[in-house]
Amino acid sequence: NLNEKPLTCARSPISENRVAILKLLLARFLPAAVLIVHREQQQSIFRRCPHHIECSLLPRKKKNGPALYYSSSAYYTTTMNQPVSCLPVSATKMSKAKKVLEEARDTQNREIDLVDKGITNFEELPGLLNMTFVTRITLSHNKLKVVPPGVANLINLEILNISNNQLEELPLSLSSMPKLRILNCSINRLNTLPRGFGAFPVLEVLDLSYNNLSEKVLPGNFFMMDSLRALYLGDNDFEFLPPEIRNLKNLQILGLRDNDLLELPREIGELTRIRELHIQNNRLTVLPPEIASLDLLGQKSVLKMEENPWVTAIAEQYLIGISHVLEYIKTEAYRILYNRHVSAGKAGNVPPKVDKSKKASRARS
Q: Are residues 176 and 307 in the same domain?
A: yes
Name which of 255, 245, 248, 212 is nearest 227 in CA terms: 248
What is the pLDDT confidence band of residue 92, given thresholds at 50, 70 and 90? low
Point out which residues pair with 207 in neighbouring strands.
Answer: 184, 232
Total domains, the chain: 2
Q: Are residues 155 and 241 in the same domain?
A: yes
* For the chain, percent of residues with pLDDT exceeding 70: 71
Give residue 96's pLDDT: 83
Question: CA angle at residue 152 from 149 to 153, to 5 degrees?
Answer: 110
294 in any annotated domain: yes
Which of 83, 107, 128 delimits the end of a domain?
83
Q: Are residues 67 and 161 in the same domain?
A: no
Q: Are residues 250 and 176 in the same domain?
A: yes
Of 2-11, 25-34, 159-168, 280-289, minimum mean pLDDT range: 2-11
Q: Are residues 244 and 343 in the same domain?
A: yes
**Average pLDDT value over all residues in the chain:** 81
pLDDT digits (tens, 9 = 90+) for 229-246: 999 999 999 999 999 999
Residue partners of 20: CB distance under 8 A and separation at least 6 = none
Q: Are residues 197 and 336 in the same domain?
A: yes
Give residue 349's pLDDT: 74
Give residue 264's pLDDT: 97
> CA gyration radius for the chain?
28
| Rounded mean pLDDT, 277-303 | 96
109 in any annotated domain: no
The identity of residue 31, as a single letter, is P
Q: Are residues 337 and 249 in the same domain?
A: yes
Name which of 231, 239, 233, 293 is nearest 262 in CA terms: 239
Q: Are residues 47 and 180 in the same domain?
A: no
- Structural domain boundaries enclosing 54: 7-83
What is the pLDDT confidence band of residue 175, given thresholds at 50, 70 and 90? very high
94 in any annotated domain: no
Q: Are residues 162 and 70 in the same domain?
A: no
CATH number of the structural domain spanning residue 213: 3.80.10.10
What is the pLDDT confidence band of residue 72, given thresholds at 50, 70 and 90? very low
129 in any annotated domain: no
Q: Where would I find the H helices in the chain?
A: 16-29, 89-107, 312-320, 322-328, 332-344
- Residues 314, 286: contact at Cβ < 8 Å? yes
Q: Are residues 322 and 217 in the same domain?
A: yes
Q: Are residues 220 and 307 in the same domain?
A: yes
Which of 39, 58, 83 delimits the end of a domain?
83
Q: Are residues 65 and 160 in the same domain?
A: no
Please give the model's pTM, rounded to 2 decimal places: 0.74
N-terminal to C-terminal alpha carbon distance within the chain: 41
Selected residue with higher pLDDT from 133 and 37? 133
